[in-house]
Every structure is written in C-alpha cells, then in structure tokens.
C-alpha cells in the first residue's frame, strides 16, 4: 500500500463503504466526501497509515491533520473538553466545526496526526457517507483535504482524481460536497476564550452564541494555499483580455460563484470554479468581489490564499 498504485472509484453505497473500511483497516488511504470538501482518510492510530497521507499529498510534516470521529463521546476519549468546548460541540456537531483541544494522555492517536503538538484538532462530520464510514471502523480517521498540498481543495470525485490518481487506494463517490469550504477551526482555551485559526461555515457569532468568549487572534495558517497554479487577481469587476473571470452577483464571468449573490451557493461552488479556471486556456484568473461578512469571510480567506 505504498508508492504508485491503482486508484479505485466506488459508489458510496453499503458495499463501497465496506470496501473502504477494509482498506482503512489495512492502513490504506481512502478519499471520502464530507459536508465541506472531500477528505483523504487514514486510520489515525497507526503511524504508517498517517505517514501515507503526508506522502500522498506532499504535505509538510509540520502541518497537522484533523481527526474525524463519529460522536462527541469518541472525541472526549481523546481530548480534554472544557465546559465551553463541550457547549460548542453540542451546539455544532455533527457539522463543519473543528475544535483544537488539549490531547489526553494515552489517546491512541499517532503523534504525526498533530505534528507532535500537545493539542488535537477534532470534528464530528455530518455527511452521511463519512458518518457511515466512521460507524464501520473501530478507530478515528485522520483526514485533511484530498488534494496535493497547496493546491485547490476537491468538492467532487473528479477533483480528487485530478491530483491524487495513482497515489491513493480508493475514492468513495458521494457526488458533490454540499458545503464547499473547509471547516471553521477554533482553539478553545482553558478559560473558555476562543481563537479563530481558520474562518469557515460556523461564524464566530454563531460560536459565541453557544456561550464561549471569542476574542479574535491572528490566524496562524499557511499563507499560500488553495493555489490554482496561475496568478489570481481579486476584486475584479471585469476581465482583462488574458483573464478567466469568476463572477459573483452583478459581475458576470465565464463562470459565476453565484449569479444571485448568495454566499452559501458561492461557498459550494468556490473550488469547482477555481478548478475550471485552472483548466481554462487563459493564463490568468480574475475573481469578482465577494462581501466580507458571514460565510463570505471564509470564501475571501481561501481566495486571498489562492492569490498569495
Ligand atoms: P486541512 O486538513 O487541509 O483542512 O488542514 C487542517 C488545518 O488544521 C491545518 O491548517 C492545521 O494547521 C490545522 N490544525 C490541525 N491540528 C491543529 C492543532 N493541533 N493546532 C492548531 N491547528 C491545527
Ligand atoms: Mg487542505
């Protein structure tokens, strides 16, 4: 299960899920749809399996992975939940919220999952396919996005194959991901305060509503990410001759994030539009302005890093 291999694609029905569970049990790699983007899953309790994720993605080993669990009880076996963390989990799980919490002594998680940090990033995903898979295996799954490191995240099976064909064992085909941008990542401190490490579908206002205090700290993530391999110009109201324009609202483009200016639709279409732009003949990409509120903050965060 290493090096060049044949990547199978299977429908995410009962037989496909059983095959995925069998491959994961053996330490292999499976791409799985979630409500955010496709994840590249491996069993989190085996160092060799986790090492394969980093190798297949070409991901730097200092960039830790998110642990996916079937429920809060499973997460509480691995990490210490303060009352604020538990309130957040109860309000938003299953769903696109990742919590960074102190790791428990004896948690059966390979150190490479958290890149050696004393914390773990955990979430309970809502997508029925990922839920079914987590229910079919007796271990947690480590799963970053199923793309080569630094490139555009996948929201469809063909996006996964475009960058990982021949490098992973299986793609579970569950169609397009409904959400389209990665989970919100919040670090929850012992005093109940929050640090937003990555904006996402759960806004800070929604998180605060669950009782946690949320001063915003600097997002400490990789500056260049989600890159389509061409220069990207943001805030464009029209296209130059050599640009492929991604529209939004009144700015029509070659494709649009959302003609009616809807941020939920724009999030779901974001990576498909970037994939289309990457494949287009034009050497440059331009993107229409997107309002920086609510889910728009997550979209603009990804766009800024695509353009960096
Ligand atoms: P991805 O798996 O590609 O969605 O990226 C996961 C993100 O979670 C990375 O940007 C990491 O920096 C972040 N992350 C994972 N674990 C931790 C942790 N223990 N502390 C802080 N950030 C984390
Ligand atoms: Mg990623």
CB 96 within 8 A of CB 183: yes
Q: Is the pLDDT of residue 171 over 70?
A: yes
At 136, list the tokens: 């079919």
Distance CA 272, CA 145 (A): 14
- Residue whose Cα lies nearest atom 21 of ligand 1: it is 100
Ligand with minimal distance to 221 CA: 1
Beta bridge partners of 173: 11
CB 142 within 8 A of CB 113: yes
Q: Do β-strands 184-188 and 97-102 pair in parallel, antiparallel, or remain unpaired?
A: parallel
Q: Is 109 in the pocket of ligand 1 (CB under 6 A)?
A: no
8-207 carries CATH number 3.90.1170.50: no
Ligand with minimal distance to 112 CA: 1
CB 299 within 8 A of CB 250: no
Angle between helix 157-164 and 263-279 (nearest 10): 40
Q: Is the pLDDT of residue 225 over 90?
A: no
Distance CA 137, CA 24 (A): 8
Q: Is 142 in the pocket of ligand 1 (CB under 6 A)?
A: no
At 111, list the tokens: 């150190």
Q: Is 116 in the pocket of ligand 1 (CB under 6 A)?
A: no
When pLDDT is averaged across residues 187-203 and rounded to a whole number, the result is 89
- Indicate the SS3 state at residue 294: coil
Q: Is 183 in the pocket of ligand 1 (CB under 6 A)?
A: no
Of 121, 122, 125, best ligand 1 pocket probe by most atoms within 8 Å of the beta carbon: 121
Please give the radius of gyration of the chain, using alpha carbons only, rounded to the nearest integer: 19
Distance CA 79, CA 284 (A): 44
pTM (predicted TM-score)? 0.88
At 147, list the tokens: 């793309």
Q: Do β-strands 284-287 and 232-233 pair in parallel, antiparallel, or remain unpaired?
A: parallel
- Residue whose Cα lies nearest atom 2 of ligand 1: it is 144
Distance 239 CA to ligand 1 centre (A): 35
Q: Is 65 in the pocket of ligand 1 (CB under 6 A)?
A: yes
> Which atom of ligand 1 has the smallest separation from the CA of 220?
12
Taking only the tens place, the pLDDT of each residue in 91-138 is 999 999 999 999 999 999 999 999 989 999 999 999 999 999 999 999
Ligand with minimal distance to 151 CA: 2
Domain positions in the chain are 8-207, 232-307
Taking only the tens place, the pLDDT of each residue in 56-90 is 999 998 899 999 999 999 999 999 999 999 999 99
Ligand with minimal distance to 114 CA: 1
Widest CA span in the chain: 59
Q: Is 63 in the pocket of ligand 1 (CB under 6 A)?
A: yes
- Residue whose Cα lies nearest atom 4 of ligand 1: it is 144
Confidence of residue 3 (pLDDT cuts 50, 70, 90): low
pLDDT given at position 226: 82
pLDDT given at position 222: 59
Closest CA to 180 of 259, 257, 112: 257
The half-sphere exposure of 210 on its side-chain side, counting CA atoms within 13 A, is 22
pLDDT given at position 110: 97
From the number of C-beta atoms within 10 Å of its C-beta (0-12, 13-18, 19+), residue 190 rates as: exposed
Question: Of residues 156 and 5, which shows the higher confidence score?
Answer: 156
Q: Is the pLDDT of residue 219 over 60?
A: no
Mean pLDDT of the chain: 93
**How many residues would you count in the chain?**
308
């Amino acid at each position: 299960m290493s090096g060049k291999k044949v990547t199978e694609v299977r429908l995410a029905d009962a037989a496909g899920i059983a095959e995925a569970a069998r491959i994961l049990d053996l330490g292999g790699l499976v791409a799985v749809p979630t409500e955010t983007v496709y994840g590249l899953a491996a069993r989190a309790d085996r160092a060799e399996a986790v090492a394969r994720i980093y190798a297949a993605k070409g991901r730097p080993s200092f960039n830790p992975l998110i642990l996916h669990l079937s429920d809060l009880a499973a997460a509480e076996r691995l990490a210490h939940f303060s009352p604020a963390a538990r309130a957040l989990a109860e309000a938003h799980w299953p769903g696109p919220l990742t919590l960074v919490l102190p790791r428990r002594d004896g948690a059966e998680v390979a150190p490479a999952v958290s890149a050696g940090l004393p914390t773990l990033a955990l979430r309970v995903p809502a997508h029925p396919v990922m839920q079914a898979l987590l229910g079919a295996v007796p271990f947690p799954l480590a799963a970053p996005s199923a793309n080569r490191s630094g490139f555009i995240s996948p929201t469809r099976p063909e996006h996964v194959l475009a960058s990982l064909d021949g490098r992973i064992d299986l793609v579970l085909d569950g169609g397009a991901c409904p959400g389209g941008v990665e989970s919100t990542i919040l670090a929850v401190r012992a005093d109940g305060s929050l640090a937003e490490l990555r904006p996402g579908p759960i806004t800070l206002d929604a998180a605060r509503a669950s009782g946690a205090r949320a001063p915003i700290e600097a997002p400490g993530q990789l500056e260049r990410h989600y890159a389509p391999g061409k220069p990207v110009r943001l805030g464009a109201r029209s296209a130059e001759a050599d640009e492929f324009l991604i529209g939004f609202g009144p700015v029509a483009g070659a494709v649009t994030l959302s003609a009616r200016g809807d941020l939920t639709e724009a999030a779901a279409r974001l990576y498909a539009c970037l994939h289309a732009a990457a494949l287009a003949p034009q050497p440059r990409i331009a993107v229409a302005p997107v309002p920086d509120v609510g889910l728009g903050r997550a979209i603009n965060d990804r766009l800024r890093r695509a353009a960096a």
